[in-house]
Structure 1
Amino acid sequence: MMDSVVHGGNRRSGEAPVNTAALHRVHMSENGSRQASNQTSEADRTSRRYSVTALYSIVAERDEEVSDELSEAQRKLRELKGHISTQSKKNFLLERDVRYLDSRIALLIQNRMAADEVKELSSHLEDINQATNDYYPDGERTQLYGNLFFLLQNEPRHIASLTRLVTLGEIDTLLQTVMFTLYGNQYESREEHLLLTMFQLVLAAQFETTQEFSNLLRQNTPVSRMMNTYTSRGPGQVYLKNVISGEIARVIENRDLNLEINPLKVYEELRQERMDRGQSVDDFPQGVSTEEATNNPLVRAAIEPRVAELTRIASRFLDTIVENRSSTPYGIRWICKQIRSLTKRRYPDAPDSAVCSLIGGFFFLRYINPAIVTPQAHMLIEGAPTQHPRRVLTLVAKLLQNLNNKPTYAKEKFMEELAPFVDANRARINVFLNELCEVSDFYENMEMDQYMALTKRDISLSISLNELYNTHALLRQHLHVLAPGADSHLRTLLDDLGDAPPLVLRNLNATMDLALFSKWETPILSDLSTLAADNTLTQHDIMYVETKSILVQIIRSMPHLKYRRYKPENNSAAKNDLLFVAEQAATDKDPMLVRKGIKVREMLVELEHSGAIDSNDGYRYLTEEILHELAHLGNLRDKVEEEILGLTDV
């Protein structure tokens, strides 16, 4: 694999003669491995062949000239994924427009809108027309925009910093551009991995700047908005459709299923039923207290079977979610993993229940529960649910959320009726959330992702004029923070572009295809330290992850090492294991392992100096995370071997 790949000058990626040459080198490498097979170990040869096979398979998926059944199926799959990506962006925009129109129409009804605001509102109801050339950037500026968005896409640190600088009023539009345009190919691993790298930078900064544990990821911040928006992408919505839409449909089908358990509301229902039947309500006076309603025997009799049925429905939802853990999108699981890792490193004394509460705050509060409460907004059903099913879904969501938090029942004492369900399943949900975090990192694949980007005929974005101009304006506004140095590539491009054009009216906000290519002959393959450059707040967080990744690579490359499992009573042994691994690699005969060993040895020293790890506890959390990675890779290997056996039988 190449150490670096370059985009030369302003040459577009589709015009670079790298594809044929690169694949020829891979082909020669494969031939070379055959000729030298008698001089290499079987494991080394198999590893090399596996890498080459993987490379060819990825290229084959994009081969438009092959027309066999496999390639036809792959093309259909790509088209479907592209359609889902496009549709998820449209859904996001429609939801945002609906929220805007709701707020403005409310003001219009109250006669509190000025004439110019009424005109603006009417423009949101018009179809988009083709903008004239006056609104499009000219050829030179289009090329500069292509350079700018290539840089933003391949160096996530710029967007990561920008998301922390913009206001809450600006964040939604920026996130629309980032999630659905800049990284809009939601099923392409390269763009997904770059987006997740940006997430890691933002999360690390959030943990660094939050003073109280209780405030972590709880407030309405740009980070929380990012999490919500990320789950709206195609893979997240497909999971909801496949996993929980069936249970939602079962609830909605029973339109008369009334499972209200709030004693005051149940009391009023019973009173109204009596009045409708013409019966006396003398023993059902109005204006009773919550305590009086709760103690009413008829109310108690009505609530008891409802609690039992609610418990059954919530159990079905929980069973479905837990049993489909492996179907959860990789990106969502990886974000859960980062939340757990950052929490354990920042707050080493935090109990596992508190860590799981933060993970569940993302997975349930910001992902699963909104889909349960408003399934129509996630296109899980057609139309809005009727009154009673809607209330059932709301209560189910409350129950799932109470599994993550330690409920006080102070505001909704009636939910205490469901405490047995919460108590019985809390340990189970903590196990599930920890298992959700058990996914491998993607850093080793980023080089392959970036390399494979060069096999495309072109790299481009479908971007609206206002997305283009709004991003430009935000970057210019915060340039002094984003690129303080005069030699910054970002500053150079923004200086060349000058001030951002004004936004166009909604009906003129047309979409253009923007070709992306680099202005400089610089490697597009960057390690994690490069991604953290100019971001000292999170540089050691990125170094921590890279250290873990390198140690995992070394251990996998040197299986003869006796890597002892960390034991709390033996801190020095755990520390010495990591130092021993680094030392063995640094003195190996393989030059690649030597470089990795020397590098990781220095990184361990720097991380301890920064306070990110502590030798007094034997590098406890780093050791545990390495063991998690190795265990996961072992499971992954088993799956690959099973697949190989299956194919061999065929």
Structure 2
Amino acid sequence: MLVNFYRHARGQNALREVLGPALQDVLQDRTLSIRTDPVDVYKTWINQTETQTGHKSSLPYEVSPEDALAQPEVQRRIDISIINLKNLTDRVLKAITTSLHKLPYGLRYTAKVLRDALKAKFPEAGEDELYKIVGNLVYYRYMNPAIVAPDGFDVVDRSAGSALQPEQRHILGSIARVLQHAAANKHFHGGGYHIRALNQYISQTHSRFRRFLQSVCDVPEPEDRFSMDEYSELLIVNRPVIYISVSELLNTHKLLLEHQEVLCPDPSDPLGLILKDLGPVPGLQELIGTANRCSAVAIRSEPEVCHDWLMQRRAQQDARTPEKMKRNQSLVANGNLSLEEKKRKILRSLRRLEGLGTLKPPDIENQILQMIAKDIRQQRLHRQRRGAELLKLHQTLSSLQAKSSFHSEQVDYYRHYITSCLDNLTASKSTNQKAADGKGRNKLPALSYSATRLHEKGVLLAIEDLPVTQ
């Protein structure tokens, strides 16, 4: 089911992008021929010789592979075919290994889960055995059919009415067979030198395939890949659309029941509760009959019966809903009203809208229906607008946080600057004080004389406005 899914839509586009250019180059050379069977090469050589000369060849037409390989011309042609086959296979393998990012994520994640599950179930199995099974999924099931028949998978461009020639299909089949053996590290049987050359090439190519398969399995978990958490469903704007047939739906139900213990070991797991409500897997006819009966009941039942059934479903959903995700209490209170109470409340609301002028009689019912329909049509626009506003608010908050961080850094810088300045100022005052104290200690003691003594010594002759006796 998975491989079939990825061969259509996105998976088919991925095959076209990965394999298309390389296969298109292979198909453009119509003179190329790859024949490694000694008997076929021998008979082709004999036929060409007889056609060119117009005489019957003296060599026997029916020979064994050993006798055919004994002819130098046959060896030369096989050597050329092996070289061409290796070059073409390398070209396709390079296109595969260099386009890892173009493979669908779901296919790569399935390969990773398959490898881990096999490793857990068979711990004694080697890496070669594990990646052999992974290669069977990724290459043999997904890519190999597109290489063998690229026109059937729309991998290459073909004009209307044109078809691949038998020789072209033989070349593509030879490339696919070599890649298949290289992915599984399986050698060709035989003892001829051309078989040994191909087996040696397969062993060398297997290591490249092994690294490619390891890279295929190196993918993040879906939660990291799509940035999903428990609130993603509440924030999503465009709901995902799943196209699934009835048979695939039944198969999915069957697989969930078979692996229920692993998927939901907790009894309160929502998936376990859903599977318990669904019960065993119904048959196709039973499912169709149940759907028809439910449709008939929905059409023919009384409004009260439908209302009670809807209320029961709502109660079951509310019981399984976490507390953080439950509806507003006012909505819960409205939901608990009886059918008659809801009718009366709706009539009161209609009269209130009529009094406000929102609704105008006499066609009130159609007006309210048109308003509801308009609101439903514009829900997508409202979600987009809310999403844009939320994104803008997140950007604003991020900018404010960055600005706050910048100002905090500036405050810390200025605080350190002021602290260092104060420390330097304190150190400078201390140094000046010490210098002043040192200078004071080096000065001679001061001498003091009175004015009378200076007058007696003849230093001071007179003081203005002051008698000599004083």
TM-score (norm 1): 0.38
Deviation at 1:498, TM superposition (A): 3.4
2:278 corresponds to which letter in structure 1? L
Alignment of 1:476-515 (within 5 A): 488-491=276-279, 498=289
Contact 2:187–2:199 at 8 Å: present in 1 too? no
1:270 and 2:45 aligned: yes
Task: Tell me how many residue pairs correspond in the alignment.
Answer: 281
**Maintained 8 Å contact 1:322/1:432:** yes
Q: 1:430 maps to what in 2? A: 210
Alignment of 1:273-422 (within 5 A): 273-381=48-156, 382=158, 383-410=162-189, 415-422=195-202
TM-score by length of structure 2 reads 0.51
Q: In 2 relative to 1, CA 428–448 (structure 1 residues): closer, same or farther, beyond 3 Å?
A: farther
Which amino acid in 2 is paired with 1:399?
A: V
**Corresponding residue for residue 192 of structure 1:** none
* RMSD between aligned residues: 4.2
The 8 Å contact of residues 182 and 205 in structure 2, kept in 1 or not, is answered as yes
Secondary structure (helix, strand or coil) at the match of 1:257 reads coil
Query: Shift in Å at residue 350 of structure 1?
Result: 1.9
User: In the TM superposition, what are the counterparts of 1:113-262 in structure 2 within 5 Å?
Assistant: 226-262=1-37
Q: Return the index of the structure with the highest Cα Rg.
A: 2
Residue 35 of structure 2 contacts residue 81 of structure 2 at CA under 8 Å; is this kept in 1? Answer: yes
Instruction: Check 1:496–1:347 CA distance in 2 against 1; reply closer, same or farther (3 A cut).
Output: closer
User: Matched residues in 2 for 1:429 and 1:475: separation?
Assistant: 32
Distance 1:407 1:477, change over 3 A: closer
| 5+ long unaligned stretches in structure 2 | 261-272, 293-309, 323-470
Which position in structure 2 is the counterpart of 1:8?
none
1:36 corresponds to: none
CA deviation digits over 1:440-498, x for unaligned, max 9?
11146264554456x45x887778xxx55x67998999999999x99943249967963
How far does residue 380 in structure 1 lie from its aligned partner after superposition?
Answer: 1.5
* 1:297 positional shift: 2.0
Question: Does the 8 Å CA contact 1:252/1:389 hold for their aligned counterparts?
Answer: yes
Residues in 1 aligned to 2:186 and 2:281: alpha-carbon distance in whole angstroms: 52
CA 1:346–1:310: 2 relative to 1, 3 Å: same
For the Cα contact (< 8 Å) 1:373–1:393, is it kept in 2?
A: yes
Alpha-carbon separation, structure 1, partners of 2:26 and 2:131: 28
How far residue 360 of structure 1 moved from its aligned partner, in angstroms, is 1.0
Aligned partner of 1:611 in structure 2 is: none
- The one-letter code sitting in structure 1 at the alignment partner of 2:127 is D
Query: CA contact under 8 A between 2:257 and 2:275: conserved in structure 1?
Result: no
Find the partner of 2:222 among 431, 435, 442. 442
Aligned-partner Cα distance in 2 for 1:277–1:442: 64
What is residue 317 of structure 2 aligned with on the other side?
Answer: 522
**Contact 2:50–2:57 (Cα < 8 Å) also in 1:** no
Deviations 1:205-229 (A, max 9, x none): xxxxxxxxxxxxxxxxxxxxx2431
Alignment partner of 1:380: what SS?
coil
Deviates more, 1:490-499 or 1:383-392: 490-499
Mark the CA change 1:448 to 1:407 in structure 2 (over 3 Å): closer, same or farther. same
Q: Is the 8 A contact 1:227 1:366 kept in 2?
A: no
Q: Distance in 2 between matches of 1:479 and 1:331?
A: 18
Cα contact 1:450–1:525 (8 A) shared by 2: no
Correspondences of 1:28-67 after superposition (within 5 Å): none
| Cα shift at 1:273 | 1.1
Deviation at 1:318, TM superposition (A): 1.4
Note closer, same or farther for the CA distance 1:302–1:524 as it changes in structure 2 (3 Å cut).
Answer: farther
Kept in 1, the 8 Å contact 2:49–2:57? The answer is: no
Q: CA deviation at 1:291?
A: 2.5
Letter in 2 for 1:398: R
Q: 2-side partners of 1:316 and 1:524: how far apart?
A: 59
Q: CA deviation at 1:246?
A: 0.4
**Structure 1: distance between partners of 2:130 and 2:253:** 38
Given that residues 476 and 499 in structure 1 are in contact (C-alpha distance below 8 angstroms), is that contact kept between their aligned partners in structure 2? no
| CA deviations over 1:197-248 (Å, ceiling 9, x no partner) | xxxxxxxxxxxxxxxxxxxxxxxxxxxxx24313313222111111210010
